[in-house]
Structure 1
Amino acid sequence: MPELPEVQTVVSQIAEKLKGKQVKGLWSDWQKRIHPSFPIFVKRVKGSHILGTRRFGKHIVIDFDNEYSIVVHLKMTGHFLIKNKTNRNSKAFTEDPVNGYIHHILTFIDDTTLEFSDMRKFGWMQVVETRVVEDLPSIASLGVDALSERFTVSSLQKIIEKRKKKTIGEVLLEQNVIAGIGNIYRSEALFLAHILPWRLTETLSLDEQKELVSAVKKVLRQALRLGGMSDGDFRDTDGKEGRFQETRYVYGRADDSCKKCGTIIVRKKLGQRSAFFCPQCQH
């Protein structure tokens, strides 16, 4: 599933490429994921211009000049592609099978298209009044954004105070506590902070808490610079893979040697997800 860096990459690219463009129409062959309904969606966005984009956790928000907004969640395999007359036949769009599962197409007056490719078809789009975006249950329930200035050692301490008997690996994935972190960056941040995923939060020292906050932000910023990670289906709006996978230390590297100490990387179930760690570097 796309995490904060992948979603922010898409949010930034949509704003850069589509701001000011006017919507001509919408096509969809999977209308059950268009809310509140396909006809209402079309009525509310047709003829409007894009003002800008925002991100809330893993949600994408596209704001229009008619006081409506599209809220999107990519879910497991969704990603947006932006096509125009100069790139429509590029190899990334025509030869990469991951980019071929197009189920929704938003067309603009100049025939540029914003296309939603989603192999598993779990992703959804919803149109709402802009003023109520932050009141939507899936957004209102989000915790502090992992890249925001509000995610500090102090805020982490407050989180720990209420979850003393939970593992830090589990807490980092709770979107209603800290928004934006998924399994990839959970594993990478804990490695950088030298903390084992199943440590109870109450056992973390103040120095370890400081290291963790710093590590979370460091790994997310690095992933942003590299366009995210394509661990399977994610592609940016040009149809290209991110490059973070070239730099990862532990995620997806079970049975390989640790890049820092040479110890074999271990994969272990933690809750419903797999955690990756180095038993030598992490404690």
Structure 2
Amino acid sequence: MPELPEVETVRRGLQSLVLGKTIDHVTVSLPRIIRMPDDVQQFALMIQGHTIDAVERRGKYLLLDIGPYTLVSHLRMEGRYGVYRSEEPIEKHTHVIFHFTDGMELRYKDVRQFGTMDLLPRGEYALLPGLAALGPEPLDATFTVDVLRQALHKRRSGKIKVLLLDQTFVAGLGNIYVDEVLFRSGIHPEANGPSLQEEQIVRLHDAIVAVLTQSVELGGSSVKSYVNGYGQEGGMQHQHKVYGLEETPCPNCGTEIAKSRVGGRGTHFCPSCQPLNN
């Protein structure tokens, strides 16, 4: 958390809030957030005086084009961005502040301190190890049933939940949406991915696209601390069918939702709607 829908929601908010703003200076109070360059002062000087020209996303990464550079930001567990007036109090756990020439500020807050920022020349950001290995974008038109089928058949084995959590398989899915996708496609989380039948692959593809599209439309899921660039919570958590709903009736058949661990992750599913031998 956050996953693709939350990062996309943050991207859209930042695009409307900071696009075209010029950076006067940068304050960094937790240097380890900045990975590249490894000198925080150099990081600040590189983007000082430059304008934010674009805010894009790849998988769970935010990409901010700033002058001749691209800032690659990964929110990890609880990173969040917000735009404030300079006179507004700075909240605890605010680690990076981009001060704009118009008196506004883009602040990065991260209670867990797991988030990262890398500043690279434009055109080179895709070479960053995490980005370079990403699988297809599930909301891109190029993500077809055939693409998913080929990705599955390239693997000799693997539980489908573990595969979907693998960012080199499909980009952007995390624990919440994998559980929701598998429920809506009627596939057990421990089913062997490469052994899925054609109709299951079609259902899986369609569920991935539908769940992520719905979540983006609703502003993501606010399960813990997630809010968008305006400080607003998302609404997708109210549409979850199984995630976080163990021991409650399945919305389809009434069977009690089960919780187990798959690939080390808490996993929610309906034993009746998602039989392992289907």
TM-score norm. by structure 1 comes to: 0.92
Instruction: Give the residue type in structure 2 aligned to 1:10.
Output: V
Answer yes or no: is the 8 Å Cα contact 1:24–1:108 preserved in 2: yes
Answer yes or no: is the 8 Å Cα contact 1:41–1:126 preserved in 2: no
1:26-59: CA deviation from partner (whole Å, max 9, x where unpaired): 1121012113121111111111011111111111
Q: How does 1:232-271 map to 2 (within 5 A)?
A: 232-271=224-263
Q: 2:157, 2:168 → 1: CA distance?
A: 17
State the partner residue of 1:47: 49
Answer yes or no: is the 8 Å Cα contact 1:20–1:50 preserved in 2: yes
State the partner residue of 2:208: 216
1:68-122: CA deviation from partner (whole Å, max 9, x where unpaired): 1111000111111112379x58xxxx9xxxx742111111111211111111101
CA RMSD of aligned residues (A): 1.6
Percent sequence identity is 34
State the partner residue of 2:195: 203
Give the unaligned 5+ runs of structure 2: none
Q: How does 1:155-194 map to 2 (within 5 A)?
A: 155-194=147-186
Instruction: Give the residue type in structure 1 aligned to 2:132.
Output: A
Report the CA distance between 1:203 and its aligned residue.
Answer: 3.0
Q: Structure 1 segments of 4 or more deviating over 3 A?
A: none
1:120 to 112, 119, 130: 112
State the partner residue of 1:11: 11
1:160-207: CA deviation from partner (whole Å, max 9, x where unpaired): 112242111111011011110000000001111111111112331111
Q: 1:51, 1:78 → 2: CA distance?
A: 22
Give the unaligned 5+ runs of structure 1: none
TM-score norm. by structure 2 comes to: 0.94
Q: 2:176, 2:86 → 1: CA distance?
A: 35
State the partner residue of 2:32: 32
Aligned: 1:63 with 2:54: no
Aligned residues: 273
State the partner residue of 2:21: 21
